[in-house]
Amino acid sequence: MNLSDPARSQRLDALAAEYALGTLPARTRARLARAALGDAAVASAIRGWELRLAPLADGVAPITPPPWIWQAIAARLGMTADPTLETSWWTRVALWRGLALAGFVTAFALAITLLAPRQEELQQPIVAVLADKDGKPALIASAQRGERFMTVKAVGVATPEAGKALELWLLPTGAAPRSLGVIPAAGVSRVTLAAPPEIALAQIPALAVSLEPAGGSPTGAPTGPVLYTGKIERMY
């Protein structure tokens, strides 16, 4: 960016203004943000406008976010010293409770799954958000068509006590739950599917996670309380 050229610097300022205001379309917005990383003139034009418009944000009335958000942030950052996570509700959760609440979260997860990745990754996924009985999301499960695994990301899971493990289940219509194996309480993991998801999950309306002895249920059926449940949503 040649600052000695007044027309260019004026154009840069106009772009920076609309960047800070928010009206730039996605691609221009991304291009300008990238340019700011290597070009001090661009960075300074943007910062100038962010400062100019900043006082306007004071006029916004605060809205208290739901309390689980703090817990989710702490969980994402691996901050374990959070006393609010040590509650006992999850020892008494009925299997299907939370499904309705999780539904609206799922809609959002679909949007995220579709929007957040690069466009070439948008391949008709199957998604489920597993939430606790209060609708607080705990795990996001997704599977791409044609692949043989499901990716499970823990976004707000209470770490199980020693000697216990989390087990993931398929909940087929009119049949007993089928195990997908034990999953970790943090991070991203993969569970193997017997067939590509469009087949393996064809008659499966929902997933659930139960608390089991370390190593998984000894009986092949869930023995512990169900902690999280979520409806499977298909994008095709």
Partner 1 sequence: MAETSPDRKALHAASRNERLSGLLSRVALKDQSAFAALYEQTSSHLFGVAVRIVREAPAAEELLQEAFVNIWHHAASYDASRSQPFTWLNTIVRNRCLDWLRRRELLTVPLATEEDEGGGFEPPSGDPTPEEMLLNGADAHAVRQCVETLDAGPRQAIALAFYQGMSHAELAKHLRQPLGTVKSWVRRGLEKLKRCLDHAGFARN
Q: Name the residues that contact partner 1, by CB under 8 A.
A: 13-14, 17-18, 21-27, 29-30, 44, 47-48, 50-66, 69-70, 72-73, 76-77, 79, 81, 103-105, 107-108, 110-112, 114-115, 119, 122
- Return contacts of 108-117, CB within 8 angstroms, 24+ apart: 109/137, 109/140, 110/233, 110/235, 113/142, 114/235
Strands 149-154, 137-144: pairing is antiparallel
Residue 139 burial by CB count (10 A; 0-12/13-18/19+): exposed, middle or buried?
A: buried
Distance in Å, CB of 98 to partner 1, minimum = 15
Q: What is the distance between the alpha carbons of residues 71 and 18, in angstroms, rounded to a whole number?
A: 35
Nearer to partner 1, 133 or 136 (CB): 136
CB of 23 to partner 1, least distance (A): 5
Rounded to a whole number of angstroms, the minimum distance from the CB of residue 58 to partner 1 is 5
DSSP code of residue 83: G
95 or 122, CB closer to partner 1?
A: 122
Between 80 and 87, whose beta carbon lies closer to partner 1? Answer: 80
65 or 218: whose CB is closer to partner 1?
A: 65
